[in-house]
Amino acid sequence: MKLDIDACIERLYAGHALSEWEVTKVCELLQELLCDEPNVVSIPAPVTVVGDVHGQFHDLVEIFAIGGRVPSTNYLFLGDYVDRGQHSVETISLLACLKLRHKARIHLLRGNHESRNITRTYGFYAECHAKYGSACVWRAFTDVFDCLALAVIIDDSIFCVHGGLSPSITHVDQLRVLDRFGEIPHEGAVADLVWSDPDGDVTGFARSQRGAGYTFGARVVDRFLHTNGMAHILRAHQLCMEGFLVLFNDRLSTVWSAPNYCYRCGNVASILHVDP
């Protein structure tokens, strides 16, 4: 049987989940594609950047209605595709199919929720089991998560990551040689990239109350950008009631793309368009 990726995309847009065989095949092909990508992917503008979506599938469809569908619009997703929301399976399935069909038009980074440990606790594992009757689909997707890139650089000037910076990383070249394949570790540079947060009350690094990663301040951001010849850091990971937050004299932005997070927070959401 041959996978019809275009038919899969249209069914997903209509809100219909794929069969277990289709998901397994999509994940198999996507793993091959992602394993060929570097840890740090360089892309040109224009691109529309999307923060956490957390299984809010209908809001993802609305994002494409507002920003344009792939491939007419280029997209960068900053991670946290699953958990919390009720439709993580459909959300990650659509993004996976779009990546397979238009690999140069959509890029997917790894967030802290693209993890076996986290998805067992926050909903994705249970959802996969409820919709497919086993953990096979969950295993297929978590194998894909192991291959997602860690960072994207837009036009050599905007550093994009899910969470934030790491005291172990001063230069982007250090990211390029990390072994990213596998479960997110409890500590170290990979964990920091997906777990860390900016904090206007500190200047350097401080331990995060999340229990993983760090908080970091303006001095850390300025040093990282200067060392790497860049102008801005773009990240997600933190709920913003207004949908976005700009810190450190417009040197760092957080974008959050799940409106009314967990169907109760009352926040608005945003997407961010980067022009050439």
**Mind telling me the catalytic residues?**
113
Handedness of CA 194, 179, 272, 234 (dihedral sign): positive
Q: What is the dihedral of CA 84, 121, 127, 110, to 10 degrees?
A: 70
* Beta-bridge partners for 149: 109
* Beta-bridge partners for 244: 255
CA nearest neighbour of 164 among 241, 225, 91:
225
CA 119/CA 183 separation, integer angstroms: 12
User: Helices (DSSP H) in the chain: which residue ranges?
Assistant: 5-13, 20-35, 57-67, 88-101, 116-122, 124-132, 136-145, 172-176, 189-195, 218-228
For 186, the enclosing helix (H) or strand (E) is none
Phi, psi of 237, deg, nearest 5 = 80, -30
CA 110/CA 151 separation, integer angstroms: 8
